[in-house]
Every structure is written in structure tokens, then in C-alpha cells.
Amino acid sequence: MDYPHRAHSLVDRAQILKHAASIGVLGAGAHGAPQIMAALCNSEVDARVVETLLRKEPALCARVLRVANSPYYGQSRSITTLDRAVVVLGLDAVRGIAAAACLDRSMSPGSEQSLVDMGALLQHSLATASAAESLARIQNPALASDAFIAGLLHNLGILVQLRLDSPGVTAMIDLRKSDDTRDMRALESEYASVGHEECIAVIFEAWKLPESLIAATRHHHDPMAAIEPHRALAALINLGAALALASGSTFTLEPAPIARNAAAMSWLGLTEEQVDEVAIALPGRVAELRQALLDA
């Protein structure tokens, strides 16, 4: 079937936010998790502030307690209080739990979402987060937490695309089925009314997350296009996604492995051997993190 080429970026910010609300990542029912992530981006945030925010979101509070008691953290004694859970996990881990909650909420079944295997997309997101965090710890440890958050949520924009432009996403999926191996940006420029990177960047802006996270998600397919202060984080997400695909964590719109971005590796000061080590450990780490964050 022939699909007409679409003019890219025909969708404005208001439309993106409207459809983001429809999948549960904006609006009154989802304020808690983004608020907590934004608060935790403040290096001076007090743990008591985080606890106060968590207590306003009972489901998220319960999730933090479940994760704190999961085998991943190996506690010998049961953790029954929120303040103890926050101490055991650390504030960065709590931010990761909030991000996982945002992702979970957005992946409820829907007619448009049936175009994309949500389970596979979730697995790819978790694998990208784990790989990006591990890569950061080698040469850029200060970016490890942000790499995990951005990696986990980098493809959330695809869910907005599904609501905004189902015909465009259908066209791209059909091209993938016919072995079109072009980068997603190339497909989107021809067949989508808005790019998935732009969608997640707008959502992050609405959540009032730091510019580094916004830039990293906006440029995760072309990290060298990010401005220099944020290029390393974008490069980590790009390489993390490549390792996720290579490990078998593919999904409908990215069904096959892609080459590692040599420029991104060079910018981060990573060698092939270092990246290989992360790749080898990735399946085991993903299994552990999935059990802790999503299956607990």
C-alpha cells in the first residue's frame, strides 16, 4: 500500500499535551510521579519533601515500599515505613520508581496502542535505561541517574504519536515489515506529523524537568546534534538504545539491531571493550531491574 508523504512537525505543543493527557501522563491523576521526579532533580531537595509528595500518592507510596522489599535490594528485614524505604533506596532510586510508574500508567490497552507491542516497548525502555546507566558509570558517573530516567522514558513519545497520528505510525510499521531499515527520524520526516523525540521533550518540559533531560530525549537518535553541555547524556541514551536492540529488546518500530554510534562513543570516551562488557551483563541486569521496578 502506498502512503502519502506527510509534512513533519505539523502538530503544535498544545496538541501534544492534549494527547499526552489522554494516555495518563498529564493531568490530576498523574501529577505525583512527575512532581517527585522534578523535586529529585534539585540537588538540595530534602528527603522529607519527597516523603510528603509520596504520601499524597498512595499507589506510588505502596510501590516504593514494594520495591524496597524486593529481592533486588536484598534486605534481611522487612521495610514497613516510607521514611526507611527512602533511606534504603536513595533519592535517585525513588526517582526511577516514579519514572517507571509514569511509564506503566501510559501503557494501558487501547485501540491505537494495539499497533505497537506494549510489552516489547516496555522491555526496550527498561533495557535502554539499564544500559545507559551502566555506560555512564564508566566515564560519566554523575550522569548515571539521569541516564536511567531518560533511557526509561525516551520512547514515551511514541505513545503520543499513536494517539496523534495513527495513520503515520501505521505507515512506518508497514515499512518496517517490508525491511525498511532507515532510522526512525528519516521515516518520521516523511510519514509522521510529529516526531516521537519532540513529543517526549514537550512532556518533559511540562513536567519541568531539567534542560539536560529535555535535550537528551529530544536528540537521542542524533546525539551529536544536542548542544555541548547535554551531548554526553544524549549520547548515553543513544548507545543504551543500541545495546538494548542488540540484546534482543526490540519492538515494532525498531525491530532489528543498529550500529553503535562511533561519534557518541568517542564523545563519551568509551572503548569497544567497555561497551562490550556492558552488553554482556545487560540481560541479567534487565531481568533484575524488571523484577524490582515492574514486577514487585
N-to-C CA span, the chain: 44
Ordered by start, the domain boundaries in the chain are 13-293
Return the pLDDT at 126: 93
| Listed range (45-49, 110-114, 126-130, 165-169) with the worst mean pLDDT | 110-114
- Under a CB-based contact definition with an 8 Å cutoff, are residues 117 and 173 in contact? no
Between 114 and 239, the more confident residue is 239
Sequence-distant (≥ 6) Cβ neighbours of residue 111 within 8 angstroms: none
Q: Which CATH superfamily is domain 13-293 in?
A: Hypothetical protein af1432 (1.10.3210.10)
pLDDT in tens, 52-79: 888 888 888 888 888 888 777 666 678 8
Residue ranges of alpha helices (H) inside 41-106 are 47-55, 58-68, 82-89, 91-106
| Listed range (21-25, 251-255, 288-292) with the worst mean pLDDT | 21-25
Q: What is the pTM for the complete model shown?
A: 0.89
3-state helix, strand, coil in the chain (%, to 5): 70, 0, 30
Nearest to 244 by CA among 281, 209, 213: 281
